[in-house]
Structure 1
């Protein structure tokens, strides 16, 4: 994989808690486009959908989410990728107010934002404001890369449709939990993000093998998110009066009748095990026969793991006091000028409600209980192949 847009950081300058498996941490050279995209999404949501109060998304210091997880994003695509991800976070915040456990067909118009005309970048004035922003995202992406924008938006729409129906009961074992969390959802969504951001095209005849090879990488990403979001998710579940948590730590505690500290150690070992398997897959003879783009995709998933890991350790979502320095704040003000201070970047005194990666996995991934196992995985792969061939 060629590196054009990112720098590798000295391993002594950041924490990885021993869970990077030797994978180097790279970060995109451009900090400003991500800030511009994120703040523009917040501004548009604030003026179009609803006020944004005490909100923090993927931005943070020293590492922001997109720059860390897609370090080789093509520069011209970095802002819209950041905008789309921030929109997904804001959309999920609103979705969390819905009663997803008692889903009824057609119950809430929010669920139709990504349905039916998800590929229509021109909408009439009476549609929901969230739909207008979704159409705007599609139009901006299509202006850059029509084919990959269609693939990405179809994948996004499929996520919303499936995830909205499956928040029900917890898993009883880690073996049951991981396939739904890491494969049935994360694989498909991140496939769309990575392929658009890096202008990759996976040939349809390589898709099954590519997804199979990437599977342990997504398992490691999911477990890492669960590990660092555990305490926040546990607190949220307690406040909501919920007797279970959609998190691998909780699943392990129930399955093995062990303490929290033991469950955390087990999750750490599982991360290492899946990463080792993923590394073997990347170096396997089968991988060497894949196209250049397919191999680049696998390496991009590898970089996404360590980026997610380091971001999770430092992000405002999990740590008070994380902030964006004033130099970046000033540059952001130049890029996206507005006066509403509710849309400020994370500061030393700001609320720590940044939940971007938690959003991607909690809304798009963790709800996939019980329904989508072997047959579900086959169905999603078939649909993804259709996206590739039709676009």
Structure 2
């Protein structure tokens, strides 16, 4: 749900490319018969076009990790998913608090199985690689991003994937945190080297909430079929999806719930567009905070 997936650009010239990633699958160039034209781009440079060039690669790597991690967490029992999130959280926290010392993370004990240790070591190694690269590029924003990502692994990242939310308001509180307040905020701050005091994060969240609501609910619409199929196969009776929450809350069908989602999305997009239009008129907004809002 949280990962920002899509087609990815291979990091060498198009004319030299031998394969492309199309709809998540590696495809030989020769297999792409007309009229199919492969979509080639880097998802980070597309979603965060203001990203400084030297930061695209490391953020792309982390985004790919998030996508894989998200898929795994959604496919395992809640307790196993929580354990994996704990390991990722601890690694982020340790690098954020002591990057120069090469912080080490993990939630392993002597009783952990060999497979648990091997899997955790892989996750830790991937996050450590990201953290070390970020610290070399820009240590201040890197530490902020890592702290925010630690909070995302701790509070979002599928932690409530099997929760039966009582209302859309309750669900959106979680969804905003999951899709925007932690993960995306960290990526945005590091991508453009923004200096936003942490005591201003409350104001940042207030300004960007409509954007994150629209983003999360749009993702819900497009991921509905995949999530519903997975839930049916697993025998689950609820979904962590705004369409499902509205169906349960109001006793309505899927089509009406989706229509309501689209109406809420349009309303929030309009509200956020107005915020962006007037952001530079506000005297309580710093330059970097205004840049963040415009980039959101």
Normalised to the residue count of structure 1, the TM-score between the two structures is 0.57
CA contact (8 A) 2:276 2:293 kept: yes
Q: Distance in 1 between matches of 2:12 and 2:159?
A: 32
Aligned CA distance change for structure 1 residues 233 and 167 (closer, same or farther; 3 Å): closer
CA contact (8 A) 2:85 2:153 kept: no
3-state SS, counterpart of residue 66 of structure 2: helix
Q: Distance in 2 between matches of 1:211 and 1:287?
A: 18
Aligned CA distance change for structure 1 residues 110 and 166 (closer, same or farther; 3 Å): closer
Q: Which has the higher helix share?
A: 2
Gaps of 5+ in 1: 1-29, 36-53, 302-391
More displaced stretch, 117-126 vs 127-136 = 117-126
Gaps of 5+ in 2: 1-7, 14-22, 27-37, 106-116
How far does residue 70 in structure 1 lie from its aligned partner after superposition? 0.7
1:156 aligns with 2:117: no
CA contact (8 A) 1:183 1:215 kept: no
How far does residue 229 in structure 1 lie from its aligned partner after superposition? 0.8
CA contact (8 A) 1:253 1:263 kept: yes
Q: Distance in 2 between matches of 1:89 and 1:200?
A: 25
3-state SS, counterpart of residue 290 of structure 2: helix
Which residue, 257, 276, 288 being the options, matches 1:293?
Answer: 288
How far does residue 89 in structure 1 lie from its aligned partner after superposition? 1.7
Who is 1:211 aligned against?
205
> Aligned residues, how many?
249
Aligned CA distance change for structure 1 residues 33 and 145 (closer, same or farther; 3 Å): farther
How far does residue 281 in structure 1 lie from its aligned partner after superposition? 2.3
What are the equivalent positions in structure 2 for 1:36-75 lying under 5 Å apart? 56=25, 61=39, 64-75=42-53
Q: Distance in 1 between matches of 2:10 and 2:25?
A: 17
What are the equivalent positions in structure 2 for 1:324-335 lying under 5 Å apart? none
Q: Distance in 1 between matches of 2:47 and 2:208?
A: 15
What are the equivalent positions in structure 2 for 1:88-107 lying under 5 Å apart? 88-100=66-78, 102=79
Aligned CA distance change for structure 1 residues 232 and 276 (closer, same or farther; 3 Å): same
Who is 1:266 aligned against?
260
Who is 1:186 aligned against?
180
CA contact (8 A) 1:287 1:295 kept: no
Runs of 4+ residues over 6 Å off in structure 1? 124-127
CA contact (8 A) 2:145 2:187 kept: yes
Normalised to the residue count of structure 2, the TM-score between the two structures is 0.73
In angstroms, what is the RMSD of aligned CA positions? 3.2
**Does 1 or 2 have the higher relative contact order (CA < 8 Å, sep 6+)?**
1
Deviations 1:57-87 (A, max 9, x none): 9xx7255532321111111111111011111
3-state SS, counterpart of residue 113 of structure 1: helix
How far does residue 34 in structure 1 lie from its aligned partner after superposition? 10
Q: Distance in 1 between matches of 2:281 and 2:177?
A: 19
